[in-house]
Structure 1
Amino acid sequence: MPSSPVETGNLVVYKQQPARVHAVEGDKLTLQLPDGGTKRVRPKDVLVLHPGPVADIRALDAGAGEMEEAWEALAGESLSLEDLAELAYGAFTPATAWSSWREVADGLLFEGEPDALVARERETVAAERERRETKAQAAAARKALLERLVAGAMAPGDEEDLAEVERLALGASRTSFILRELGREETPEEAHRLLLANGYWDELTNPHPVREGAPQASAEGEVPPLTEEARRDLTHLEAWAIDDAGNTDPDDALSLDGDRIWVHIADVAAVAPPDAPLDLEARERGATLYLPDGMRTMLPPPAVERLGLGLADTSPALSVGFRVAEDGGLTDIEVAPSWVRAARLSYQAAEERMAEEPFASLAEAAERFRQRRRADGAVEFQLPEVSVRLEDGEVVIRPIVELASRRLVTEAMIMAGHAVARFAQQEGLAIPFATQEAPQGKAEGEGLLRAYELRKLMRPSRVQLTPEPHSGLGLSAYAQATSPMRRYFDLVTHQQLRAHVGGGQPADQEALAQRVAGVGERVRRLRRAERLSNQHFKLVHLQRYGAWQGQGVVVERNGPKGRVLVPELALETSVTLPKTTEPGAVVTLQLLGVELPTLEPRFRAEEDEVAGLRSDLQAGA
């Protein structure tokens, strides 16, 4: 508020800046501002500092004066702005009035209005000075921190400050004060980049499971003992649990009983009935998480050790039996709790015995079933696959080789899933059925190019409680049922089957829907965490390799760039291509660099002219 009537030529304060009153027109003032502009305001919007006249509003700096001495002399006393200017500068002029007012506005030594100032008490000033010094030191320390981080030179003790950047990098927060102060985007990728640059994270730090809300450890909990119940004794049959070497959770095995095939599955539902502690734990997780640096199990390790097939002399199982007719259809389907005696076998070891029995007969039956599926529209294509593992700090990438033994097990598991779905249909049993709509369109080309196009055309599979065809498999009904230790939907299917064949009361469709609500989304996030983690460690491998060079197949072109598939790494990437390079061409790739935060490798591409190599790669060899 003005302390006296405002007149032309007065020096006033308007929005904490000096101004000269150029004209007074009724209830409005026209102000001349330091930048040369003018502004019409109300008298109550200004504070009069000096009556004027003001010659030049831009020349009002009177220097520091003897402000400290003036305060020392008057500490605790009252005075006016004119008194303060006289004491500090020896004169009351527009320049000394403005310079004195800036000191008042600072608030350290003086406070109040122009005609009613107070020199603050010594204790108050001392406390304020200490506060300001502390604040200045903190600002200097913060400035030094930011400078270190920009330079990638984190110092001991900076970890506490970078913790908030880490929270953003892990998806636990959406903001970061440090990134904001550095003028960078507040994104998980930018946070990751800063943490890497400063050594807070190293290249092996994989943020994707945490970002996707994946469990950070395997399940824990007590595993109850098996209850007494009638089980079919199938221990007289050879049962083979065939899996990758080093597998630690074997949950299925195959037997041949004359012309009858048995698929034995770990009987997890025997110790994890609906709403039991193990069931609730598995439901919350949705599936076992498989990462290059280890797995995080859906069930506590003791459950795997006790129920895994081939880990003990005899194992409890839920066995699915059926015959494969000459036309490839399944007949005489039955489901029974059982005892089995399983032997473990790696795919490679089984491959060497495929000409022996029972493997030869099992493979022949599986092939009849496969041909039936193909006749019914099954979509088959093969893209390169690799296993990515972190072993003793090294990223090891191994190709997953197509083997007859692997095809046998895959087909047997599909047969079991079809048999279970058919059984559930016949018995009016609600279970999680896996369904898939037919692909939209037709793939062109051949080899890897066709496989890539087919994958793009495939519709996502769905889990629902009513049966519908699974077009990708060429089946009228299908359910995933062979991995109850690793997938919750499989466990639910077993719970329903056990309740039915044991004379219990299976859940109806409504109750089952409530039980599995949300599981599908949790599983999708786990699978995304696995895909991103595999990509992360592939890029770590490339980054460590340095001058990596290899071949890729162009599977798509869009302007100057294209999608290139690198079979050796099962890696897809975007690359700038030579002008004449078309889809299907083989290119030689030279690694230029890796961007871990965005999971992007950078390659230079040149079209390859080696015909034999071109043929092998295009065919997916």
Structure 2
Amino acid sequence: MSSFPSKDAIRQWITDNPGLSAKRDIAKAFGIKGDGRIELKRLLRELEGEGVVEKTMRRFHEKGVLPPVAVLQVLPPDSGGDLYARPLEEGVDDTPRILIIPKKGDPALGGGDRILARLAKVDLDDYAYEARLIRKLGSNPAKVLGVFRVSAEGGCIQPIDKGSDKEWRVSSDMTLGAKDGELVEGELVGTRRMGLPAARVLARLGDPSGPRAASLIAIHQHGIPDQFPDAVILEADRAEPVGLKGREDLRDLPLLTIDPVDARDRDDAVLAEADPDPGNPGGFILWVAIADVAHYVTPGSALDREARKRGNSTYFPDRVVPMLPDILSGDLCSLHEAVDRACLAVRMVIDAGGHKRSHRFTRGLMRSAASLNYEQVQAAIDGTPDAATAPLLEPVLRPLYAAYAALTRAREARQPLELDLPERKIVLDDDGHVTSVAFKDRLDAHRLIEEFMVLANVAAAEELIRLKRPLLFRVHEEPSPLKLDALREVAEGAGMTLAKGQVLQTSHLNRLLAQAEGTEFDELINLSTLRSMTQAYYHPENFGHFGLALRNYAHFTSPIRRYSDLIVHRALIAGHGWGSDGLSAWDVENLEETGKLISEAERRSMAAERDTNDRYLAAYLADRVGAEFAGRVSGVQRFGLFIRLDETGADGLIPIRALGREFFHYDEGSQTLTGSETGLTLGLGQKVMVRLAEAVPVTGGLILELLSVEGATMKPAGRKSGKYQPRKPAQAAAKRRVVRRRK
């Protein structure tokens, strides 16, 4: 160009070309080369200083106007269910409202997600920009949770994540008055240039080592919504008990609930009686009545949007984060004893072999005959009834167990996966301190309710298929060939066999589990089988449930705590014409996205519950550092061994550096670590003795030292004589497996 452009010309070009606003793009447009670039840089700085343009991510744009492509943080859905976002780029004013416009095939988005989006400015009152997803960005959280440490410049946030050594600096004007050692929630600010990334304190959460802090940390760390918006509480407060109009009267049926002793919400009630039909000798009529949550949580309501966002209730040892406000989950929707409650019920007829012959669904009004707990019911059947169960023993409880015996025969014929992995229970005192860790008893009372619920879930799926109504199936696909090969290798190393060259069925896995039962490889084979499984999820297409060996399966029995079940209830209501609160057109259109959202919410809750248990266990063991424990190798990684302690079920890590001075070769296929000098081979299922070296309650981390393997004491690596050669992991005496070092 013959003359250098003016500032006005540069500003106008930036306005007209928002997609080409890097300094090199501007230089190319005006033909600026060589030393002219220095002058251009000066003019751009002046424009920025005057507030005419601003710079974000090395691009210039008109002041107050967002660039055409930007990194956004998704905000929680608003009262209308729409998703908005705010820009994350440094220097961008976050006041413009940005509406996310989803298109078919986009991944499900939730509050806190970071996305790269294409922006278009619009002239509307409600929002200033529309955003269309380019891609969902990585899982680096926009918020951080950690312990605040004071410094001269302000302070820093030290993370509470296991294995993380990152820190975030906090300037003195962004500490929110946080004290040294306090648990805080922070938000990343700006972009990292030199040194530590910057953050500001958003909330002070108190003493991280205090009682009940473990679940609070998990709630914040995993982004679990734990406060209900005012609009949701207002809707819940307006709810009233349901009358009989439009419902079948089931109040004369002696339905009862059987739940954990500390249960607050009671989703399901059951009843069984002998079938009087002479054509069905030894058969039973079963009733399963489920809380009619759909009556209170209607499509598109504030309650509905919040429930969909939460996906499910999340359970911790010290608290529950419910899917629905307590006035519904703990009262109006809960099937309490001797009060009228709205329900959706299914009447099922089974034969003497436990096979379902027919079913009928109804929308009814019931009155529970009793609210019992598992231990109470089992004690009554075992000969020690109490005042509540004694009058129910013969007319109600014994028929339930007789029907359960029939269902057990059908289960044995069907051969669902029979994993035997005991579940631990963390017991807290009134102050929130761990008093004991024990493994939960599995009673026939538990299994009875499970079998009744499985049959009701099957009936719901079959009914909606018959009615040709859309629904969310509970899908569990079969294991991948790669995972099966890994399981087969572990089994063969233990001297056992897993069928190969045929279509995999759960019966094949059950035969493997039966081979291991009662042997030293019992836990190893159960753990390895569990790890070979795929994760279950929700989807509008039916891909079957491999683990239960069922073709048609949907969740129907827990709408108080699972949104998936509420969708199934609405589908049944719509299919039978029971009211205007059935599945809406919006529900149907967004069914696949809903499945994704609630599947992700389920995984989020599972991770939060697991992390909380780890923290409570670490707190419980913190005063036993230096003590010795028996355990088994539960995981093998390149960086070390995971050990599950027999006493508590807690998992701890033996870092690779603590195994000795020699090099350890990691074989992913056989899941082993092999010492280069001693020949020591460590792998899944080995019995070990360990010493607790470190317990960190705030992260849930346990660091262990290895003392012995399979009864053989560890010896220092590098000795010329007396090489340590214990029996190799998962290896029968009659069958030795050679672990070769990879080149």
Q: State the Cα distance separating 1:294 from its structure 2 match.
A: 0.8
Q: State the Cα distance separating 1:239 from its structure 2 match.
A: 2.0
Cross-structure match for 2:603: 524
| One-letter amino acid of the structure 2 residue matched with residue 459 of structure 1 | T
Partner Cα separation in structure 2 for residue 420 and residue 560 of structure 1: 47
| 2:191–2:197 contact (8 Å) kept in structure 1 | no
Cross-structure match for 2:665: none
| 2:619–2:696 contact (8 Å) kept in structure 1 | no
**Aligned counterpart in structure 2 of residue 345 of structure 1, from 372, 388, 404:** 372
| One-letter amino acid of the structure 2 residue matched with residue 590 of structure 1 | R
Cross-structure match for 1:387: 425
Counterparts in 2 of 1:513 and 1:414: CA distance versus 1, 3 Å? farther
Cross-structure match for 2:690: 589
Partner secondary structure for residue 309 of structure 2:
helix
Counterparts in 2 of 1:514 and 1:146: CA distance versus 1, 3 Å? closer
Cross-structure match for 1:419: 459
Q: State the Cα distance separating 1:163 from its structure 2 match.
A: 4.6
| 1:378–1:474 contact (8 Å) kept in structure 2 | yes
Q: Which runs of 5+ in 2 are unaligned?
A: 1-34, 39-149, 159-171, 275-283, 383-392, 495-515, 517-521, 661-679, 713-729, 731-743
1:317-356 residue pairs with structure 2 within 5 A? 317-342=343-368, 343-354=370-381
Cross-structure match for 1:222: 235
List per-residue Cα deviations over 1:443-479 (Å, max 9, x = no partner): 6252211110111110111211122310101111111
| 1:170–1:208 contact (8 Å) kept in structure 2 | no
Counterparts in 2 of 1:237 and 1:147: CA distance versus 1, 3 Å? closer
Q: State the Cα distance separating 1:173 from its structure 2 match.
A: 2.8
Cross-structure match for 1:10: none
Q: State the Cα distance separating 1:262 from its structure 2 match.
A: 0.9
Cross-structure match for 2:83: none
Q: State the Cα distance separating 1:252 from its structure 2 match.
A: 0.9
Q: State the Cα distance separating 1:405 from its structure 2 match.
A: 0.8
Partner secondary structure for residue 353 of structure 1:
helix
Partner Cα separation in structure 2 for residue 147 and residue 378 of structure 1: 52
Is 1:572–2:611 an aligned residue pair? Answer: no
Cross-structure match for 2:528: 453
Q: CA RMSD in A?
A: 4.0
Partner Cα separation in structure 2 for residue 216 and residue 548 of structure 1: 38
| One-letter amino acid of the structure 2 residue matched with residue 532 of structure 1 | D
Partner Cα separation in structure 1 for residue 306 and residue 374 of structure 2: 31
Bigger shift: 259-268 or 525-534?
525-534
Cross-structure match for 1:270: 295
| 2:464–2:571 contact (8 Å) kept in structure 1 | no
| 1:551–1:586 contact (8 Å) kept in structure 2 | yes
Partner secondary structure for residue 565 of structure 1:
strand
1:125-140 residue pairs with structure 2 within 5 A? none
List per-residue Cα deviations over 1:366-400 (Å, max 9, x = no partner): 34434544544521202121223543131243421
Is 1:202–2:217 an aligned residue pair? Answer: no
List per-residue Cα deviations over 1:232-266 (Å, max 9, x = no partner): 22223322211111111111121113311111111
Partner secondary structure for residue 236 of structure 1:
coil
Partner secondary structure for residue 430 of structure 1:
coil
Q: State the Cα distance separating 1:522 from its structure 2 match.
A: 2.9
| 2:299–2:584 contact (8 Å) kept in structure 1 | no
Partner secondary structure for residue 601 of structure 2:
helix
| One-letter amino acid of the structure 1 residue matched with residue 565 of structure 2 | D
| 1:351–1:404 contact (8 Å) kept in structure 2 | yes
**Aligned counterpart in structure 2 of residue 402 of structure 1, from 442, 445, 457:** 442
Cross-structure match for 2:308: 283
Counterparts in 2 of 1:268 and 1:161: CA distance versus 1, 3 Å? closer
Counterparts in 2 of 1:394 and 1:321: CA distance versus 1, 3 Å? same
Counterparts in 2 of 1:306 and 1:504: CA distance versus 1, 3 Å? closer
**Aligned counterpart in structure 1 of residue 252 of structure 2, from 233, 236, 243:** 236
**Aligned counterpart in structure 2 of residue 514 of structure 1, from 566, 590, 597:** 590
Counterparts in 2 of 1:469 and 1:479: CA distance versus 1, 3 Å? same
Partner Cα separation in structure 2 for residue 430 and residue 208 of structure 1: 35
Q: Which runs of 5+ in 1 are unaligned?
A: 1-41, 46-140, 150-156, 612-617
For the pair shown, the structure with the greater C-alpha radius of gyration is 1
List per-residue Cα deviations over 1:510-542 (Å, max 9, x = no partner): 742416533332333233222222222221222
Partner secondary structure for residue 220 of structure 1:
helix
List per-residue Cα deviations over 1:209-234 (Å, max 9, x = no partner): 11221123367333322365332222
Counterparts in 2 of 1:393 and 1:176: CA distance versus 1, 3 Å? farther
List per-residue Cα deviations over 1:549-577 (Å, max 9, x = no partner): 43222234457943322344333333367
1:95-494 residue pairs with structure 2 within 5 A? 143=152, 160=175, 163=178, 170=185, 172-173=187-188, 201-204=208-211, 205-206=213-214, 207-217=217-227, 220-223=233-236, 224-225=239-240, 226=242, 229-258=245-274, 259-304=284-329, 305-342=331-368, 343-354=370-381, 357=394, 358-391=396-429, 392-396=431-435, 397-440=437-480, 441=484, 442=487, 444=491, 446=516, 447-494=522-569
Bigger shift: 208-217 or 537-546?
537-546
Q: State the Cα distance separating 1:597 from its structure 2 match.
A: 5.1
| One-letter amino acid of the structure 2 residue matched with residue 529 of structure 1 | A
| One-letter amino acid of the structure 2 residue matched with residue 243 of structure 1 | D
| One-letter amino acid of the structure 1 residue matched with residue 425 of structure 2 | S
Partner Cα separation in structure 1 for residue 174 and residue 210 of structure 2: 17
Partner secondary structure for residue 571 of structure 2:
helix
Counterparts in 2 of 1:474 and 1:164: CA distance versus 1, 3 Å? farther
| One-letter amino acid of the structure 1 residue matched with residue 271 of structure 2 | S
| One-letter amino acid of the structure 2 residue matched with residue 239 of structure 1 | L
Counterparts in 2 of 1:166 and 1:475: CA distance versus 1, 3 Å? farther
Partner Cα separation in structure 2 for residue 512 and residue 564 of structure 1: 46
Counterparts in 2 of 1:170 and 1:568: CA distance versus 1, 3 Å? farther
Partner secondary structure for residue 457 of structure 2:
helix
Q: State the Cα distance separating 1:415 from its structure 2 match.
A: 1.5
Counterparts in 2 of 1:221 and 1:161: CA distance versus 1, 3 Å? closer
| 1:168–1:175 contact (8 Å) kept in structure 2 | no
**Aligned counterpart in structure 2 of residue 555 of structure 1, from 612, 624, 634:** 634
Counterparts in 2 of 1:143 and 1:299: CA distance versus 1, 3 Å? closer
List per-residue Cα deviations over 1:405-462 (Å, max 9, x = no partner): 1111122211111111111111112111101111242562522111101111101112
Partner secondary structure for residue 550 of structure 2:
coil
Counterparts in 2 of 1:351 and 1:176: CA distance versus 1, 3 Å? farther
Partner Cα separation in structure 1 for residue 548 and residue 405 of structure 2: 14
Counterparts in 2 of 1:605 and 1:244: CA distance versus 1, 3 Å? farther
Counterparts in 2 of 1:544 and 1:268: CA distance versus 1, 3 Å? farther
Counterparts in 2 of 1:522 and 1:293: CA distance versus 1, 3 Å? same
Cross-structure match for 2:570: 495
Partner Cα separation in structure 2 for residue 459 and residue 545 of structure 1: 37
Counterparts in 2 of 1:366 and 1:466: CA distance versus 1, 3 Å? farther
Matched pairs, number:
458
Partner Cα separation in structure 2 for residue 374 and residue 425 of structure 1: 26
